[in-house]
Structure formats: structure tokens, C-alpha cells
Chains A and B, each alone.
Chain A
Amino acid sequence: MDSQEKIKMIESVREGNTLTLRLSGDWSLKESKPEFNTIVDTFPQDKAITGIKFDVAQLVTWESGLMTFLLKVIDYGKERGLEIYVDSLPDNIQRLLRLSQEVPEKEDVGKRSAEHALLPRIGKWGISNYDGFVDFTRFIGEVFLSILKLLSGRYHMRWGDFFVIVQETGAKALPIVSLIALLIGLIVAFLGSVTLARFGAEIYVSYLVAYGILREMGAIMTGVIVAGRTGAAFAAQIGTMKVTEEIDALKTMGISPVDFIVLPRMLALIIMMPLLVLYADLIGIIGGLLVTTLLLDFSVHQFLEGMNEAVALPDFYIGLVKGTIFGILVAISGCLRGMQCGNSADAVGLAATSAVVTGITLIIFANAVIDWIAAIHGF
């Protein structure tokens, strides 16, 4: 009996000029329903039929599945000019049907149309890029004004907050910087020893390590770590402050968010990045030293001697200058992305992601530019 009900959930019977749909069995959401089109095919195609009636005496349970079916029947009836005898349905079903039809579909909402056409998409892309550029320049301008304000003594930094940020971006990054710098030192020395050995020039490993770490790898790796750690944190913090209206609260209190939020973060990175780079240089060279002394049987003295011949102070300074600039870039990308953040949890995630991507891209780009300038001036 049970299985039979499921198969024959619906039966169409012709009574005079009306078609009676006999519904039976379980119409709950967990049961799959017969396809509407296959049911329609079983309807007698007779011009004499003028209406559709329902018989629900055998209906056991029903949920939204039945409602969508009934709505389809009503649409089907309307198309063919058939009378639908809704009053043959139980009261509660009639009420639900009325409720769903009470407010007509809003057609001018315009969310679906025109979003896939090529020209509007190009236009939108152009406008959003232009807006992004305007945002960026305005932000840089505000940061610049804010720095001037600080230098001219018209703004007093909240030093307590500042030192918390310094600790967060500087001291707390030491473990990860140590690990990465050490590994980079090992890798550079190892690569150097393998390739230079083919020319019998292992003696120059210390040259490669010192030159590579001081000028390039120390600053780049620290920059990338800080972009991933601190840049993302800045964007997420500021983005969340935007969502919770904390930024608005600052603005309406007459406090510039750039003074209050961006400036301390930027200063903290400007101060901490060279120090982190200095530390990364040291650890990286120790890494290189470990490989050359343990694997290549050089003495520590030989390594240091080779290093001393290979690099000069400018190499070291260039690394520090790079670090400082990378710090500014990470602070700008993190804070800017945070400030541009939209009004949802998704937007905060996006802001953090794009802060890291922007930060790393800018770092690599700036690194190339600095190397180029240094090469021109013969450093």
C-alpha cells in the first residue's frame, strides 16, 4: 500500500468538463516528487476541459514541495485559460498560496540584466580601477599631510599605542624571521657550494652568501614575512574597524583615521624594518657560515676573511634602505586595503588577502628599481 501511494502520488481523473487531480501520499521535502512535465503529459488533451480541481482526501503529509507543484499547476492553468478551483484545497494551503502571490515579483530590481555584456563589464572595470587610483592618491596625500603634522608638532602621537604596534610588528616577528633567514642562508650557501665547486671556486661561497644576503635576500625575505604577518594584520584590523563603524566614530569625533591609525603603524614599520633586516642579515650569514664550515671544511676565519674582501659597507646600507622602503610599502598597502574595505566579513578577508598581494608585489618591484638605481650609480 505504502509503495503504491508513492508511485501514484497524483492521478488525473476527468469529471465532466473539469479535470480532478487526486493527490495522495507523502509530499514532504524529503521525498522526491514526480516531474511536473511528465504529469502534464498524462493530462487528457481535450478542448472541452475548462477547469482543474483538486482532491486531497488521500494526502498524508505535505510541505513546500506540494506548494511549488500547485503553483506550477496554477501557471499551467493560466496559460491555457483554465479555471483553477483553489477552494477545493484545504484552508491552510489556500492561505499559503495567497501569501506567496500577494506581493508580485519585482521586475525593475535590475540585478540580473546587463551584467554579462562585454561593454558594461569593461566600463565597470575601468571605473573601479579609476576609483581605486583616486583612492590611492588621496590616501598618499593624507599620509603625507599627517607626517607633516607630526613633524611640525601639531599632532601628538599616542606613544602607548605606538609601542604596542612596535612590539607586535617587531619583537614578535623575530622567531619567524630567524627561521626563514637561517634557511635562506643555508640555501644560498648550499647552492653556491654546488655550483661554484664545478669551477673549483668554493672559496667564493662566502662572497655569494654575504653579497646575496646583505644586498638582496635579507631585505626581501624580511619584507615578504612582514607583508604576510603585519600587512595582513593591519588590513584585517582596519577593515574590521570599518565594518563596526569604529572608523566613522573617529571621523565624527574630528580625529583623522590616518593620524590615529595609519601613522603609528607606518612609523612602527619604518623603525622596525631596518632592525629586522639587520637581524635577518646576521642570522642569514650564520646560516651560510654553518654550511661552509660544516660541509665544505672551511674555517670560520676563512669565511669571514672572504666576506671581508667581498662586501663593503654600501652593500649593507643598501639592504637597510631597502628594508625601510619595504616597511613603508607594507604599511601603505595594509592600511590602504583596510581603509578600502567594504562592509562585510568577506570584505575583511579580501582586504587582508589583497594587502599581502599588493605588499609583496610592491616589494619585488621596488627591489628591482632600487637595484637598477644602485647599478647606475655604481654601488
Chain B
Amino acid sequence: MMNTISQPKIEVRGMDLAYGSFVVMRDLKFTVKQSEIMIIMGGSGCGKSTLLKHLIGLIDPVRGDILYDGVSFVKADLDKKQDTLRTFGVLYQAGALWSSMTLEENVALPLEEYTKLSPGEIREIVSFKLSLVGLKGFEAFYPSEISGGMRKRAGLARAMALDPEILFFDEPSAGLDPISSRRLDDLILQLRDSLGSTVVVVTHELASIFAIGDNSIFLDAESRTMTAMGNPNELFKDPPNENVRYFLSRGEKAN
């Protein structure tokens, strides 16, 4: 009975991931609840980012389905897909800001495309979003004129421009110093708490995983499937298999 009421925000059903004929991951199934922070973890090259690319529609799965709010995303037609995409915010590894535009233009673009706001209103929203990520005053800067960490935060401001229902993060802490990375984690938590967004984070940064993860899945490169699901702190205490324990304890040998 509960299931019909609290429908999962994201549901992945028996999905296989492949690059061409090379199958990266088999038989993934998991659900993400509304306002939950889901961590996709696993070693380098195990297919975490590939899974993310499937979730945001950049690659189509060879088998299986992804459902958002109970509606198939894979089988949706182009218009429906575009509508779903507009409810996403994606933060790419290096920010992926459009380099020919200033930070203000970057954050404003989705607003210009999809809202009927006046230029003045858009400017207000842009500077509000930039202030959320601590970049107020940098409106006129080009992405090449700011540091990597700032680019990432600006990318987050852009991802949040349309108040997305789901935020996707691709390795948010990669290339950040420990303090910046911690700040970004705090920011993710605050955004989730205040906006109620659902968050999917691809990462292998243990500190982040334990700090922000409500739920997690572990992608195992050897068996090419997910071998664990659950709260990362609980998985750490009671690991279901050796690879998960090894990963979460930073390669600590079993006693």
C-alpha cells in the first residue's frame, strides 16, 4: 500500500550499460526516493560516470529502463524527454561552463530558454543563484578567468538555475582541496534540505560518501554489476562483501 503513495523519484530496472559492444555493467536495479541523496560509488573505471550519462539521457541503455516519477524515460518520445531533462540539474566534473559566455550569461541561458521572465528578473535570479554558491560579484567573469573550484561552483549555480527536482553531480570533489570539497558537500546538504531536491552523486571520495550519503550503490568492476546497496555508514559497519569492505575502508586488509 505504501508503495503507491510514496512512489520512488527515480527507478532503474534491470539496466545494462554498454559502450558500443563492450558491456560495462549488467543488471542494475535501484530506486531513489524523493529528497534522498544517492551515492553511486565504485573504483576508477568501473562505470560510475557511464551510469550517470545513462541517467541524464546522454547514452541510451542497451537493456532495461529508467523511470522518473514512475514514467519511463528511455521509451519516452523526444518532447517528453526534453521536458524531463528540464527538471534536471547536472554538475559536470569540470563545471562544463560555456566558455564563450560570462558566468551571468551561463546561469541566465536556461532561464532565457525556458521561462518568460523579463531580463531584469533573470538578472536578479542569476545573482541570487551565484550568491548561493558564494560567487556574487563574479557575474561578468568568463569561465577561463576563474579557478577550477569556482568554475565548479558556478556550474552548480547553473545547474540550479531552473530549481531542478533532481540534481546530478559527477565527481563533485575531484580536483578540489579538502576544504573546498567539504564546503561543496555542505552546500549539497543545504540545497537538499531547503529545496527538497533529490540528489544523485557519483563519487569515490570516502569523506563525502559518509558525510552526505543517505543511500548508496556500489558498482563492482570485477563482477560488472552492483554488489551492494544501502546507507554507506551501515555498509561500512556491516559490509555485504569483501570488495565493498575493501573500498569503504580505503583498502584496509581484513583482520
Contact = CB atoms under 8 A, between A and B. Distances in A.
A245 B57 contact: no
A57 interface: no
Interface stretch (A42-50, A251-259, A349-357): A251-259
A68 B125 CA distance: 63
Nearest to A248: B58
Contacts of A248: 53, 58, 90, 92, 96
B58 A249 contact: no
B249 interface: no
A237 B86 CA distance: 25
A246 interface: yes
Nearest to A259: B113
A244 interface: yes
| A: interface residue count bin | 10 to 19
B133 interface: no
Contacts of B209: none
Contacts of A161: 100
Contact of B58 (A240, A244, A251, A255): A251
Interface in B132-171: 158
Given A241-B99, A246-B99, A253 B92 contact: no
Contact of A249 (B57, B90, B100, B114): B90
B88 interface: yes
Contact of B96 (A237, A245, A254, A255): A245
A251 B99 contact: no
Main secondary structure of the interface of A (DSSP, over half): helix
A252 B57 contact: yes
Nearest to B158: A249
A161 B100 CA distance: 9
B56 interface: yes
- Max chain B Cβ within 10 angstroms of own Cβ: one of A240, A246, A248: A246
A277 to B, nearest CB: 28
B99 A254 contact: no
B56 to A, nearest CB: 5
A244 B94 contact: yes
A244 B113 contact: no
B94 A245 contact: yes
Contact of A254 (B53, B86, B92, B158): B86
A324 to B, nearest CB: 26
B98 A253 contact: no
Contact of A245 (B82, B92, B110, B114): B92
Interface in B68-109: 82-83, 85-86, 88, 90, 92-94, 96-100, 109
Given A241-B99, A254-B82, A254-B85, A249 B92 contact: yes
A66 to B, nearest CB: 30
Contacts of A250: 98
Interface of B: 53, 56-58, 82-83, 85-86, 88, 90, 92-94, 96-100, 109-110, 113-114, 158
Nearest first, the 4 closest Cβ-Cβ pairs linking A and B are A245-B96, A254-B85, A249-B96, A254-B82
28 contacts: A161-B100, A240-B99, A241-B99, A244-B94, A244-B96, A245-B94, A245-B96, A248-B58, A249-B92, A249-B96, A249-B97, A249-B98, A252-B57, A252-B85, A252-B88, A252-B90, A253-B86, A253-B90, A253-B109, A253-B110, A253-B113, A254-B82, A254-B83, A254-B85, A254-B86, A254-B113, A255-B109, A255-B110
